[in-house]
Amino acid sequence: MGRHGTIANRKASQDNKRAQVFTKYARAISVAAKGGGDPDYNMSLKHAIDKAKSINMPNDNITRAIKKGTGELAGETYEPGSFEGYGAGGVAVIVDVLTDNRNRTTAAMKHAFDKYGGNLGVPGCVSYMFERKGIILIEKTDGVDEDSLMEASLESGADDMITHEDSFEVQTTPDAFDAVSEALKAAGYEFVEADIEYVPSMESAPTDEHAIKNLKKMIEILEDNDDVQKVYHNCSLDLED
């Protein structure tokens, strides 16, 4: 499945890093809550809460994160940012972050890229190889009919649906993402993941085993950083196995 990995690998990775993932999602909730603490009137907050609930983040953690964002509780101030560069083998990489210390995060990004054969670049150096798309990932099970899902997706405004080994990937424009995700939820579909992401418009497939090993390690180090929300790349290989 390339950039998404298999459902089983994704779930195993989340289980192994559950506490760390809670921390990342709490930050996202707090930042989104700056725009208002009611998810009925703040779609960004609603998405952040939905993602947290998808990994069974406790309601107390979610409530506390919202209150930190609205100022009802004291907490750090996080700001969004992104870093771009090339990993080993010439693979394009974009890293989305939420940080309370830009200098610390920049140093950590540079260290990770340099140590594993990559090169941290300037804004825009690789983002032209990606498109912003809404991505809704639904696990392929006996209860999900491919034709019905395709019909429901397209009728609600989706652009396309890609069938993978163990999942269906519904793609939308960023503007149509909310309408499509709400329509599919109302139709009873459960999401493995739903977000607006960077999707590569051109892919890279390194063949050197050492480069692939370094690329995997770099992405692992980046994802382990609490400041990092998500790492995107244009490698067509499954780096989560």
User: What is the CATH number for 14?
Assistant: 1.10.10.200
Answer yes or no: is 220 within a domain. Answer: no
pLDDT score recorded for residue 2: 42
Answer yes or no: is 203 within a domain. Answer: no
Pairing of strands 91-99, 160-163: unpaired
How far apart, in whole angstroms, are the C-alpha atoms of residue 215 and residue 212? 5
Answer yes or no: is 171 within a domain. Answer: no
How far apart, in whole angstroms, are the C-alpha atoms of residue 95 and residue 233? 9
The count of structural domains within the chain is 1
Answer yes or no: is 78 within a domain. Answer: no
Q: Is the pLDDT of residue 184 over 90?
A: yes
For the chain, report the end-to-end CA distance as a whole number of angstroms: 10
Helix (H) or strand (E) holding 127, with range, is none
The boundaries of the domain holding residue 64 are 7-70
Q: Is the pLDDT of residue 148 over 70?
A: yes
Instruction: Band the pLDDT of 8: cuts 50, 70, 90.
Output: low
Answer yes or no: is 36 within a domain. Answer: yes
Instruction: Band the pLDDT of 1: cuts 50, 70, 90.
Output: very low
Q: Tens digits of per-residue pLDDT, 192-215? A: 889 999 999 999 999 999 999 999
Answer yes or no: is 96 within a domain. Answer: no
Q: Is the pLDDT of residue 3 over 60?
A: no
Residues with Cβ < 8 Å from 18, sequence gap 6 or more?
55
The dihedral through the CA atoms of 75, 77, 82, 83 has a sign that is negative
Answer yes or no: is 95 within a domain. Answer: no
Answer yes or no: is 39 within a domain. Answer: yes
